[in-house]
Each structure stands twice: as structure tokens, then as C-alpha cells.
Amino acid sequence: MMNPNSHGGLLPTLLAVFVLVHAAVASLHGVHHAHHVHHVQRSPNALEAKFEETKQLLEKRASYIKITGVTGTVQPRLEIRDLKKNADQWNLFLLGMQRFMAKPKSDPLSFYQVTGVHGRPFVAWNNFQPINQAGFCPHSQILFGSWHRPYLALYEQVWYQNVLEVIATFPTNQQQRWKNAAATLRMPYWDWAKVPPNGEASTPTSIRDKTVTVTTPSGQQTIDNPLYSYNFGTVPSEMGGLPWNNFPVTLRRPVANPTRSNNNELATVMNQRRINMRDRLYGIFSSGASWGDVSTSAIGVRTSQNGNNVDSFESIHDIVHTSIGGESGGNMYYLDISSFDPIFWLHHTNMDRLLALYQVISPNTYVTAGKINRPMAQWNAGEPKNSYTPLKPFTKDTAGNYFTSEDIRNTRVLGYVYPETNGNPTAASVRSAINSLYGPSAPSKKRHYSTGPFEGRPFRHGDQHTVLSVIANKYALDGSYVVDCFLGHSNSTKNMTSASYDSPDYVGSYGVLGMMKADRNSSNPVMTEGCLPLTTALQGKQISGELKSMSPQHIEAYLKDNLKCKVIGPGGAEIPAEQVPDLHFYVKSCPVTPASSPEELPTWGEFEVLPEVTKHWPKVGETYTYPKPAAPAVPASPESPSYGTPSVPHGTVPVAPPMGTSSPPANSVVPLYPTSTPESPFHHPSEEPGYCQQKITIKYVDEAGNFLYSEEK
């Protein structure tokens, strides 16, 4: 995606420079172009020497993008609605975006090329030629959380450069005003889970309006809103074979005749899902799990699938993607083309923020070790990675050294913080912020279930936290899919085909963000897990009298009769769940210890599977057994003789323990530790700052999945 002239492979590039150097030498000595003939006809040895000389010169000239974020001072990235309160900063934000998006696609620092690093069009960037026909973005892998950090910093840095260019276009006597506004300006994030102000939709109009009025050097002007869509200019044929491929702008929940985005529907859906998404965030923040476990949806990274970590930030990130893109195939619905929609950046900045908050809560944990699970632009499947892995293609200097996850542990390195990490954040101060942003609503705010989704109440002693766990293959279908979940005995829940998000029984949806047909490999399943909390909905059912009590027995019986799910696939049609490859559901519940102060979060006790709820669900209710690990699955040191050989035949999950009995720990997913590669020198996990020793129980099962014995490591 760099300028094609500069990326025709190494040799043509070398020759091009060779000629350039000759021209320079020639003019330096005042000689004429005719001398070139003489040079070219020199003996092969002389030519080779010259070649070597120019090669060295080229290497010196080869320059990589030095990613720094916005330099100077460290400033908070604000929530989009807060940034908008500062009219001058908001104006610069929009004008900078407009200018950034208008840069020619041949410019490596254009919006097109910067956003194109993520997925399609699968071409070189920053001197890195893809080794596979794939994008650079490591979704459902250990580096999901940290890789996006320098990526966002790059985007912010380039956008900010455009802001500075815009300021230079203002009359001299106005420039100081704009420079003052820019001094503390950083790009905003969109918190889709917090209570929106003044009863507004959770998706602000500033993202949904088609046009916006801005102050330019020539006065007020109404322009196309740069947060509404990106205009490719021409039909982007390299975006793959989608129904919407013929349309030159990014789309959200597209509708036809004429082809356009449906941002009103987007706002409605995001509202309907907000409570459940808020509960998911609160559940993760309260989980006590390690950062590595909560950052990604991938099974095989997470070490405590049966423990308290039931969800991940990446899993929530997926439902935001699918809700925005929509089943009709908007950009955000497909991993490979999502980053072109400007909303992607507002969403991902929020993801980075959530991950930064979790770092404060769990300061001694970070990126865990694991293996790449599908061919990517910069890595091959199976390559071991850890927190010292170079986050290609993001370089921290012009010499071409890549950032590692360790380099960017602290966001201040990249010139920013978030409101909650500004100053001297502590775990207590961040937990306090989580409580006020995402805690269940105060009792005065609760609404009766029949007038909309119940908004929750603070936890009490004797409460249970209950979740529907979803195990899903990320690339099972051509595109994404969504599991809609309903709870209750209203008419709509009886007929799932007609059940809608307007129903008082709608709980929320679980999204699995996939790739388009051309880019996915259906024979290489990538397994993920996350969950939908049912707790708030159950509280509502208890208040309405449908559910007798919060005892696990009553919950299990109630859910067995009233929990319904349907899968909506690409195109919007319902797909029988049993026809979706590798899809599994189970429900689990744990006792809750309420927080003792606003600086504390509730704690989850040990989860117990409620097998009765899902065991009659065709196929998807069956106990899921992990596929045989392809690589060493037990932490072993390189010195150990067994190192490098698979030592876990199979793993298994939720062998439902009978209610009331003590359930054995069954943490069957264990980390895959890396071996040394030239780009990733071996670091034993215990030597890494982010390492957190966990007790691991491995359950051995036979080919049929029957339990044989378990072992503690």
C-alpha cells in the first residue's frame, strides 16, 4: 500500500537508488550525463563494488516511521461527549480528521494507508511486505490488547499532524487561539456502556450526523461529517467481494435503494444492548483475572476458563463491531475492512482505555505467552509470542526497531492518559470510577421489567452472578454472527423467530466478529469464549415475581424453562444454532460477595455449571472438549526433556458437577510458552515482569472426551 514505485521489491529499489546516486555524483563533479554510459559499462567487479556502496547508502536512507503518539506533554484522551464541550478543540478534531481523510491514498500517512494496516488490502506498509495474504491485526490472540496501542498512537500522531497543518492555514492573528486548543488535544474515545447524558442515545449524534458545521479560515462551513463515514473516492476493488463493494463510502447497517447507512437503527440497537454490555464490563472488572486472560477472547490464551474469568474485553469489542456493521454487511461487521469506518477508532480508543484501566487494577499482570493461530501479514501460524514480541509493523524509531508490548505498558510513553488514569491512579481510584460508570444502577433508577430492560440493583448478600457462556469458532461463517438472548415467558419468547429486541424479555446479544468469505479459513477453527451476564435480567424477574428466589436451584429451574437464544448470521437470517460449526452454550452461576465500599468491586465466588438449563439444547448443549493442542501445552522449561512435545492429550470444560457438590477445579487450558526465534528471543515466562504464576489443573480425557484423571501443575 506504499507508493507502488517504491515497493517493487528490493532489487528494482536498489537500482533506482543506484541511478540516483550516479546522478548526484555526476552533478557534484560537474560532469555530463554521457558519463553514465561509461559507468554502466564498467567491469562486473566494479559494478558489484558500486552496487555494495549504493546498497549501504540505501540502508542508511531507509527510514521507518517513528511512532511517538503526540509528543510534548502527556494529556488525557477524553470521552467524545466531553471533548465536544470544548468548541475549539472539537473544531480542530473535525478539521484534522477531514484533512487526514483527504490525503491521497498513495501517501503512507494517509487515512487510507494507516487504516489499511489493520486488514485489507493486504499490502506493504512501513517497509514491511506481508508474508501472508492477511492483515496485521492479531484478533483472538494474546497480542490483541497491546498491538492496537501503538496502532492507535500512530493514528493519533498522524491525525494530529493534520491538525497542525490545518492551524497553519488560519490567518496569523488567529493561530495562537488554535495552538492553545491543540496543546492539550488528544483523540477521543466513545464509551458505549456508560449512562448517556440527558436521556440521549448511547451513540452520540456527533457520530451519526451526515454533516457538521465547522469554523474554517474562511468562516463557518457545513462539511461532510468525518465521523459519519470515510469516502474511498473510487470503488475500492481491493476490499473483497462484498455486496456493498460497489459503494465508495464506509457503511453502517446498510440499507438499499439508495445504498446508505442506517445510523438510527444503530443507535436503537446500541441502546437496547447497553445494559448487558455494561454488565459485561462490570463482570470483567470484578473478575480478579489476569490482564492476559481478560484481554482476548481466544481459548488457549486464557488459563482459567472454568475459573472466575468468564469473559474478555475482546468479546465485548466484538458485539460493538457487529452491532455497528449490522447483518446487512457494513464495514464494522467484517474484521478485514472494519478499520476504514471512523467509528472503529472511537471504539478502539475505548478498548485501549478499558485495557489501561485493567492494568491499574491488576498491575502485576500483562500480556501472556501464546502462539499465533492463523497466518497473518507479519507472522505465520504457530509462531510463539510474548510481551517482548516486536509489534510489527509499528516502529519506535527511524532505524526500524519495533515496539514491544513491554515498551508501551505505560500509555504515557505515547503521550496520553485517560481521565481515570490521569494523575496518580490507584487500583482503588479506578475501581471507584468503574463503580460509578458501570455499576448496577441505584435502586431509585430501576424500572419495571415490562417497560424495558431492568437496569439492575446493587448486589446484596445472598445474590448470585449467573452467566450464559458462549464458546464459538471465530471463523465458522462467512462473516460475523450474533447470538440473541431472551429471558421470560412472554409470547415473543415462545416464538423465537418473531422475538425482537423490543421485547421486554430481550437480555442482550453476543457477537462473534468474523472475516469475509475470501479471507477466512474454515478448516482452521479459532475458538473463543465469552459470556452474557443474566444477573440483571434475573433480578428483574425476581422483582416481577416470575423468579422465586436467587437460589441456584430456582435460577436453574427458571432458566431451563425461560432462557432462549437464536443465532443471526450474515444477511440477517436466523440460523439453527446446531448448524453453526463449533458453537456451544452452558450456564454457570456463582455466589456474590458485595463490595464493602465504593472503592471495592464485588467478588465472584466459585462458578458452578447449571447443567439442566442447556443440556436439552440440540448439539450446542453438549459438553465441549478442546481440540488436541498442536503444540506444547504445559509450561515446561527449555531444559526439560519433554519440552516441545505435546503432553496434554485433550482438555475439557464444564463437566457439569451436580448441584450442591464441591466442583473440582477444571482449568484445562494452559498457556503455550514460546521457544526462541530470531525475532523473539526466548524469555521464560517466570522471568517476565508480567508473569503471574497460576495453579493449573489439567484434566486428561480419552478420545471420546471421557474423564480419565486430573493432575495439578
Ligand X SMILES: *[C@@H]1O[C@H](CO)[C@@H](O)[C@H](O)[C@H]1NC(C)=O
Can you read off the three cell numbers belonging to residue 241?
467481494
- CB of 69 or CB of 307, closer to Cu ion: 69
Q: Which residue is nearest to Cu ion (CB)?
A: 137
- CB of 285 or CB of 486, closer to ligand X: 486
Q: How far, in whole angstroms, is CA 437 from its chain's centroid?
A: 21
CB of 298 to ligand X, least distance (A): 15
Question: Between the CA of residue 708 and those of 303, 507, 547, 631, 649, what are the distances in Å?
Answer: 20, 38, 38, 21, 11
CB of 136 to ligand X, least distance (A): 17
CB of 491 to ligand X, least distance (A): 4
Segment contacting Cu ion by CB under 5 A, of 78-86, 132-140, 253-261, 500-508: 132-140
CB of 574 to ligand X, least distance (A): 10
Whether the Cβ atoms of residue 303 and residue 223 lie closer than 8 Å to each other? no
- CB of 137 or CB of 696, closer to Cu ion: 137
H/E stretch holding 468? strand 464-473
Can you read off the three cell numbers belonging to residue 83?
471533548
- Partner whose binding site includes residue 498, from ligand X, Cu ion, none (CB under 5 to 8 Å by kind): ligand X
- Partner whose binding site includes residue 497, from ligand X, Cu ion, none (CB under 5 to 8 Å by kind): ligand X
- Partner whose binding site includes residue 655, from Cu ion, ligand X, none (CB under 5 to 8 Å by kind): none
Whether the Cβ atoms of residue 63 and residue 126 lie closer than 8 Å to each other? no
Segment contacting Cu ion by CB under 5 A, of 50-58, 134-142, 220-228, 622-630: 134-142
CB of 498 to ligand X, least distance (A): 3
- CB of 146 or CB of 473, closer to Cu ion: 146
The rounded distance, in Å, linking the Cα atoms of 368 and 387 is 7
Segment contacting Cu ion by CB under 5 A, of 67-75, 129-137, 502-510, 670-678: 129-137
- Partner whose binding site includes residue 491, from ligand X, Cu ion, none (CB under 5 to 8 Å by kind): ligand X
Beta carbons within 8 Å of 602's beta carbon, 6+ residues apart: 286, 459, 465, 592, 593, 594, 595
- CB of 53 or CB of 574, closer to ligand X: 574
- Partner whose binding site includes residue 495, from Cu ion, ligand X, none (CB under 5 to 8 Å by kind): ligand X
CB of 495 to ligand X, least distance (A): 4
Residue 137 interacts with Cu ion (CB under 5 A): yes or no: yes
- CB of 37 or CB of 573, closer to ligand X: 573
CB of 93 to Cu ion, least distance (A): 22
Q: How many other CB atoms sit within 10 Å of the CB of residue 83?
A: 19
The bridge status of strand 506-512 relative to strand 481-487 is: antiparallel
Which residue's C-alpha cell is 504515557? 412
The rounded distance, in Å, linking the Cα atoms of 419 and 49 is 58
- CB of 279 or CB of 505, closer to ligand X: 505
Segment contacting Cu ion by CB under 5 A, of 72-80, 133-141, 216-224, 599-607: 133-141
Beta carbons within 8 Å of 568's beta carbon, 6+ residues apart: 327, 481, 482, 483, 484, 574, 575
Give, in degrees to the nearest 5, the angle at Cα 505 between 501 and 507: 70
- CB of 523 or CB of 693, closer to ligand X: 523
Segment contacting Cu ion by CB under 5 A, of 65-73, 131-139, 161-169, 253-261: 131-139
CB of 572 to ligand X, least distance (A): 14
Can you read off the three cell numbers belonging to residue 50?
558500486
**Nearest-CA neighbor of 388 among 64, 681, 692?**
681
CB of 484 to ligand X, least distance (A): 14
Segment contacting Cu ion by CB under 5 A, of 136-144, 432-440, 455-463, 486-494: 136-144
The rounded distance, in Å, linking the Cα atoms of 329 and 247 is 12
- Partner whose binding site includes residue 173, from ligand X, Cu ion, none (CB under 5 to 8 Å by kind): none
CB of 615 to ligand X, least distance (A): 24
Question: Between the CA of residue 18 and those of 41, 45, 52, 126, what are the distances in Å?
Answer: 14, 15, 10, 21
Whether the Cβ atoms of residue 367 and residue 146 lie closer than 8 Å to each other? yes
- Partner whose binding site includes residue 444, from ligand X, Cu ion, none (CB under 5 to 8 Å by kind): none
- Partner whose binding site includes residue 523, from Cu ion, ligand X, none (CB under 5 to 8 Å by kind): ligand X
- Partner whose binding site includes residue 45, from ligand X, Cu ion, none (CB under 5 to 8 Å by kind): none
List interacting residues with ligand X (CB under 6 A).
Answer: 491, 495, 497-498, 521, 523-524
- Partner whose binding site includes residue 524, from Cu ion, ligand X, none (CB under 5 to 8 Å by kind): ligand X
- Partner whose binding site includes residue 499, from ligand X, Cu ion, none (CB under 5 to 8 Å by kind): none
Backbone torsions φ then ψ of 398, nearest 5 degrees:
-75, -10
- CB of 134 or CB of 137, closer to ligand X: 134
- CB of 137 or CB of 583, closer to Cu ion: 137
**Nearest-CA neighbor of 372 among 147, 664, 641, 550?**
147
Can you read off the three cell numbers belonging to residue 654?
464444564
Residue 343 interacts with Cu ion (CB under 5 A): yes or no: no
- CB of 103 or CB of 317, closer to Cu ion: 317
Segment contacting Cu ion by CB under 5 A, of 47-55, 130-138, 271-279, 358-366: 130-138
- Partner whose binding site includes residue 661, from ligand X, Cu ion, none (CB under 5 to 8 Å by kind): none
CB of 155 to Cu ion, least distance (A): 12
**Nearest-CA neighbor of 504 among 531, 468, 537?**
537
The torsion defined by the Cα of 288, 291, 297 and 299, in degrees rounded to 10, comes to -80
- CB of 355 or CB of 507, closer to Cu ion: 355
- Partner whose binding site includes residue 137, from Cu ion, ligand X, none (CB under 5 to 8 Å by kind): Cu ion
The torsion defined by the Cα of 318, 322, 324 and 330, in degrees rounded to 10, comes to 130
**Nearest-CA neighbor of 56 among 29, 8, 23, 18?**
18
Whether the Cβ atoms of residue 538 and residue 545 lie closer than 8 Å to each other? no
The rounded distance, in Å, linking the Cα atoms of 132 and 111 is 23
The rounded distance, in Å, linking the Cα atoms of 129 and 120 is 13
- CB of 137 or CB of 531, closer to Cu ion: 137
CB of 449 to ligand X, least distance (A): 14
DSSP 652-680: B----PPTTSPPPP-------PPPPBTTB
- Count of residues interacting with Cu ion (CB under 5 A): 1
CB of 128 to ligand X, least distance (A): 20
- CB of 491 or CB of 640, closer to ligand X: 491
CB of 564 to ligand X, least distance (A): 13
- Partner whose binding site includes residue 521, from ligand X, Cu ion, none (CB under 5 to 8 Å by kind): ligand X
The bridge status of strand 416-417 relative to strand 75-76 is: parallel
- CB of 498 or CB of 706, closer to ligand X: 498
CB of 296 to ligand X, least distance (A): 19
Whether the Cβ atoms of residue 462 and residue 453 lie closer than 8 Å to each other? no
Residue ranges in contact with Cu ion by CB under 5 A: 137
